[in-house]
Structure 1
Amino acid sequence: MRGILRGVVAGVLAAGLMTGPAAAQDYPARPVTLIVPAPPGGGTDVFARQIAEAVEPILGQKVIVDNRAGGGGTVGTTLVSAAQPDGYTLGFVWNSPLTTSPHSLTVAYTPDSYAPVMSIGYSSYVLCAAPDFPAATAKELVERIKAEPGKYTYGNDGIGGTMQLAAERVFAKLGAKVRPVPFGGAGETARNFLGGHVTFYGGSLPPILPHVAAGKAKCLLLTSAGRNPALPQASGLDDIGLGAEETVLWWGLIAPARTPPAVLAKLEKAFMAAAETDRFKDAMNKQGATRRVLGARETGALIRSELAALGTVAKAIGVERKAQ
């Protein structure tokens, strides 16, 4: 009898040990839901739908995009973190809910609550001035704002938002003081900048590019280390010796923590291949984004380092965490 029981227990244990690898080998056996914590139509949603379409033939399953906007992306990110860790609920997010919002909002997740899978690339934020502003280069811009502390203002996407923290991170290193003026998003910032209500536009590229083409703005400084071909006149932070202070708008894929490693590896390989397709590359180019495909390890390191760096900036400028 004891021998029979030992055999049964051993069989159960063996079956249990085989469940993970076997499940991973069969994955995905049904459609995958891709939660996007943003409303339809924006850059994050566009990239999510493009990469979902590109990865379907690679995974051999339908990928269903599910927009769950709210709380600056934190609502959808919370849903992903709390989902069953089986690889059938993923999140396509931009960095703000992961590295910025936790400093200004009380969120129900930490970097230990989700598993980075990969990231696709980034779009820099940019500082733009009116055509008659007395600076033609980033170096001249820096000299001007340092010479007159507190005289100039820059619009941004909200108190404690990524643009504000990105700008303040740079200004702190420069020893410059520029007054932030928060708005409801980059589009509203652009309108107020064009109306002369703030000295500088601070925001993402798409809303300001048409006005640069029309000669209504000149963009001088990016928050990325390198330059961007969409704005050849704008310097990157490397050009002024501050490349290590890069903060950009980037996008990536996450899964719930405790998702089986073999499933995560399969997802990483599939989505990285999808990001290499010509159609997806074209989608990024049309949005003025820079493709920089990183794997799970590099994306995880990026999240943690950026979270820490922006936390330092948020504390220095007195950003207070609020309940949602």
Structure 2
Amino acid sequence: MNKIIVAAALLGCTSMPALADYPERPIELTIPAGAGGGTDTSARKLALLLEEKLGTSIAVLNVGGGGGSVGASQFMQAKPDGYALFATWNSPLTTVPQVQNVAYTLDSFTPIASTSETAYTLCVHPEFPAETGEEFLAELAANPDKYTYGNDGIGGTMQLAAERIFQARGIKAVAIPFGGAGETLQNFLGKHVDIYGGSISPVLPYVEEKQAKCLVVTSAADVPALPQAAGLASLGLGDKETLLWRAILGPKGLDQAIVDKLAAVIDEAVNDPSYVEFLASKGEVPNVVKGEALGARLKTEFDALAVVSKNLGLAK
């Protein structure tokens, strides 16, 4: 018996340096969207800070498609050793599974920490016959099925956010799904769709260059980065608010000690003044929810959106 106890103690001691030395090699960060979108740009900026704080390199892997479900499905095969992380927005986890058959559930991942949140926005080309949010909605309402809007995938959070607004105003617009905000933006700029629906950060430079005008944000409040855009409260639709938020997760079974270490480092990086300034320039704010609390947030949102998706006729 004493030999067994000693052996167990030795095993415990040998595992401690492994965590103390973590990470000992590069980390791969999977982003379930194409390059150039809001999650991609935010995650890449954050990765630079995490590299400094963790003392290792982080390789970014973009896996777009299916509103984020392709990347999520691929990532769930990763080993839970701390060297594979998943930088996502909420839609692939809480919205897409409502309307698509996916290979994963919330239990397929280990929540580590959320990083930021923001509104979605609806933007049009400069020649669009509206200059305010109210005029924009009136134009859509007067022309059923005339206008197309790009979004981040069938049943994605952007589509859900738009449809909550449209349903409330009796609007019928044609949803065109893409692989992420970056792909949506390129098709919008190429005038393959009439309306950009997506996160604020990718479209913001084009707003500043007068190549797009954003007229509505999906938050109840206005967003300072988009002064022409109306918050939903000003349109009498404050109860239709839908936010986009981002998070870092690991594979199922990730050691709690690694989760805690990563969550602490992510918290530091997100609140680094340079990252806070970066987020503000993109119309986002820091928002760190860690571990079990993040898991609870995901579950609460998943359950709420299940009801909303069913009511909107989007449920699978």
| Range class of TM-score, shorter chain | 0.7 to 0.9
SS in 2 for 1:8: helix
Distance 1:275 1:58 in 2: 12
In structure 1, the gaps of 5 or more residues are: 1-5
Aligned to 2:117: 122
Aligned to 1:177: 171
Aligned to 2:253: 258
SS in 2 for 1:87: coil
Matches within 5 A, 1:151-300: 153-157=147-151, 158-172=153-167, 174=168, 176-184=170-178, 185-187=183-185, 190-191=188-189, 198=194, 200-206=195-201, 208-209=203-204, 212-213=207-208, 218-240=213-235, 242-243=237-238, 245-286=240-281, 288-296=282-290, 297-300=292-295
Distance 2:123 2:64 in 1: 29
Identity across aligned pairs (percent)? 38
Question: One-letter code of the match for 1:186?
Answer: T
Aligned to 1:67: 62
Matches within 5 A, 1:27-106: 27-106=22-101
Distance 2:79 2:310 in 1: 34
Question: One-letter code of the match for 1:46?
Answer: T
Report if aligned partners of 1:118, 1:293 keep a CA contact under 8 Å in 2: no
Question: One-letter code of the match for 2:122?
Answer: L
SS in 2 for 1:84: coil
Instruction: Tell me how large the CA RMSD over aligned residues is.
Output: 3.4
Distance 1:66 1:159 in 2: 23
**Shift in CA distance, 313/152, structure 1 to aligned 2, threshold 3 Å:** farther
Kindly state the Cα deviation for residue 111 of structure 1 after the two structures are TM-superposed. 1.1
**Shift in CA distance, 141/36, structure 1 to aligned 2, threshold 3 Å:** closer
Aligned to 1:319: 314
CA deviations over 1:175-226 (Å, ceiling 9, x no partner)? 533333315442255347x68x75x543333565466456675433211233
Distance 1:62 1:202 in 2: 33
Name the larger-Rg structure. 1
SS in 2 for 1:273: helix
Question: One-letter code of the match for 2:188?
Answer: A
TM-score by length of structure 1 reads 0.78
Kindly state the Cα deviation for residue 272 of structure 1 after the two structures are TM-superposed. 1.5
Q: Which moved more, 1:128-137 or 1:261-270?
A: 128-137
Q: Which moved more, 1:163-172 or 1:13-22?
A: 13-22
CA deviations over 1:246-286 (Å, ceiling 9, x no partner)? 32333221011221222111101111211223443344344
Aligned to 1:9: 4
